[in-house]
């Protein structure tokens, strides 16, 4: 019965009137009788229920008191622990402040790295970076091969490049003597990573992976070999696309296609595009003109080919200027003049030679038509 009482009183919501009704119902049931025997049963039931409830109350009260005692004991225990933790926290803050001051002090003493820290209040991120850089510098100063993972794992070349391009200017300032070996190791690793980046750039160019090309180009902007990256792009872009006989017809489409790539890859697209076109004029176009003119044997055909090539180049320069590729008319005209200046300088002599040859041919035909034979005039007598 005790369990039944507990179950009923733990119902949510609890209704005392309903509880009393259930007690009476257990005695009456569905009977409507109200004789003395039933009344006595009801009274006995209620009296017993009251006793049971008082017993439950006392038992629950003892449980509550016991739980309260446990809570007070834990509260006291946790209070002591919290006080200890607060003291530890204060000690930790003090140690942290001392370490922070020590890190800033050491950072200001590092060669050339100290110049990057302008005051004691330098952001923590800068201090952490300097601390890591010091560790890398110590690795290069130690004997034997490099053991740091980023310098031995090709997949971490981006991280290695970031570190080595920061160590390189520091190495230039290291005094000779005991630092000479570390300096040479840094320079060697710098050249190696630079070469690997350029090779990876070329591979991704052949795969048309513009996203990775952009990442590598951004990294190489901090290296001396950035211009080599640009040169490699230009060389491989023009190698197959401008090797045919229809050079003048191919140049415009090639420039348009590569302009989109240049804008997506390089941070200075105007300068790269100017170099791209400069390479076309000074290498591809100039070699083409030299080849064509060298194959002509007589002066008349030579002058005709020269005129044709000059007109084609002029049209090409105008079309490139209209495409707005970052190259003005003066730049294009200057390149055109550089190509043709040696031909134009000798143009008057070649044209005069051509006219003389034509006049001699016409005169010879005239003499032949008249049956006249030209005699040599001897001087003197």
pLDDT at 18 exceeding the cut of 90: no
pLDDT, tens only, 231-287: 999 999 988 777 767 889 899 999 999 999 999 999 999 899 999 999 999 989 999
Q: Which residues contact 71 (CB under 8 A, 6 or more apart)?
A: none
Nearest-5° angle of CA 326, CA 328, CA 332? Answer: 110
User: What CATH class does 224-369 carry?
Assistant: mainly alpha
Task: Look over the chain and give the mean of its residue pLDDT values, rounded to a whole number.
Answer: 81
Q: What is the mean pLDDT of residues 206-228?
A: 93
Average pLDDT score over residue span 288-316: 87
Measured between alpha carbons, how far is 52 from 62 in angstroms, rounded to an integer?
15
Q: How confident is the model at residue 226 (pLDDT cuts 50, 70, 90)?
A: very high
43-98 pLDDT, tens digit per residue, is 777 787 788 788 888 888 898 999 999 999 999 999 999 999 999 999 999 999 98
SS3 content of the chain, % helix, strand, coil (to 5): 80, 0, 20
| Of 352, 344, 351, 291, the residue nearest 314 (C-alpha) | 344
Distances (CA, A) of 76 to 83, 133, 312: 11, 49, 97
Nearest to 184 by CA among 194, 195, 193, 172: 172
- Please say if the pLDDT value at position 229 is more than 90: yes
Q: How far apart are CA 215 and CA 217, in angstroms?
A: 6
Is pTM, for the whole model, over 0.75?
no
* Integer Cα distance of 286 and 295 in angstroms: 15
Give me 102's structure tokens: 């020590």
Which helix H or strand E contains 291, and what residues bound it?
helix 286-294
Q: Answer whether residue 2 shows pLDDT above 90.
A: no
Residue 354's pLDDT is: 64
Taking 90 as the threshold, does the pLDDT of residue 327 lie above it?
A: no
**pLDDT digit string, tens, across residues 157-202:** 999 999 999 888 888 887 777 788 888 888 999 999 999 999 999 9
Q: What is the chain's length?
A: 381
State mean pLDDT over 281-307: 87
Cβ burial, residue 283 (10 Å; 0-12/13-18/19+) = middle
pLDDT of residue 311: 93
């Amino acid at each position: 019965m005790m369990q039944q009482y507990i179950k009923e009183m733990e119902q949510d919501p609890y209704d005392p009137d309903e509880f009393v009704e259930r007690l009476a119902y257990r005695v009456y049931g569905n009977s409507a009788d109200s004789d003395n025997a039933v009344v006595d049963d009801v009274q006995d039931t209620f009296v017993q229920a009251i006793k049971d409830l008082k017993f439950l109350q006392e038992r629950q009260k003892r449980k509550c008191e016991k739980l309260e005692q446990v809570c007070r004991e834990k509260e006291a225990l946790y209070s002591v622990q919290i006080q200890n933790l607060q003291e530890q926290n204060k000690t930790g803050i003090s140690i942290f402040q001392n370490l922070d001051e020590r890190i800033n002090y050491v950072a200001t003493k590092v060669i050339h790295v100290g110049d990057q820290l302008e005051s004691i209040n330098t952001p923590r991120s800068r201090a952490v970076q300097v601390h890591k850089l010091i560790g890398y510098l110590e690795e290069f100063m130690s004997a034997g091969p490099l053991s740091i993972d980023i310098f031995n794992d090709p997949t971490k070349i981006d991280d290695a490049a970031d570190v080595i391009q920061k160590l390189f200017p520091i190495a230039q300032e290291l005094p000779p003597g005991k630092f000479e070996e570390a300096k040479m190791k840094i320079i060697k690793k710098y050249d190696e990573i630079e070469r690997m980046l350029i090779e990876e750039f070329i591979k991704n160019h052949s795969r048309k992976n513009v996203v990775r090309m952009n990442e590598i180009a951004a990294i190489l902007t901090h290296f001396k070999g950035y211009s080599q990256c640009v040169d490699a792009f230009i060389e491989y872009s023009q190698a197959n696309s401008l090797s045919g006989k229809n050079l003048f017809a191919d140049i415009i489409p090639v420039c348009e296609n590569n302009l989109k790539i240049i804008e997506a890859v390089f941070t200075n697209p105007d300068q790269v595009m100017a170099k791209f076109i400069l390479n076309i004029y000074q290498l591809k176009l100039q070699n083409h003109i030299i080849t064509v003119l060298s194959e002509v044997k007589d002066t008349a055909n030579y002058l005709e080919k020269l005129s044709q090539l000059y007109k084609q180049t002029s049209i090409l320069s105008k079309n490139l200027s209209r495409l707005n590729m970052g190259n003005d008319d003066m730049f294009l005209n200057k390149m055109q003049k550089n190509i043709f200046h040696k031909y134009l300088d000798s143009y008057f002599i070649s044209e005069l030679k051509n006219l003389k040859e034509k006049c001699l041919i016409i005169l010879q035909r005239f003499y032949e038509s008249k049956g006249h034979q030209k005699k040599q005039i001897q001087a003197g007598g």
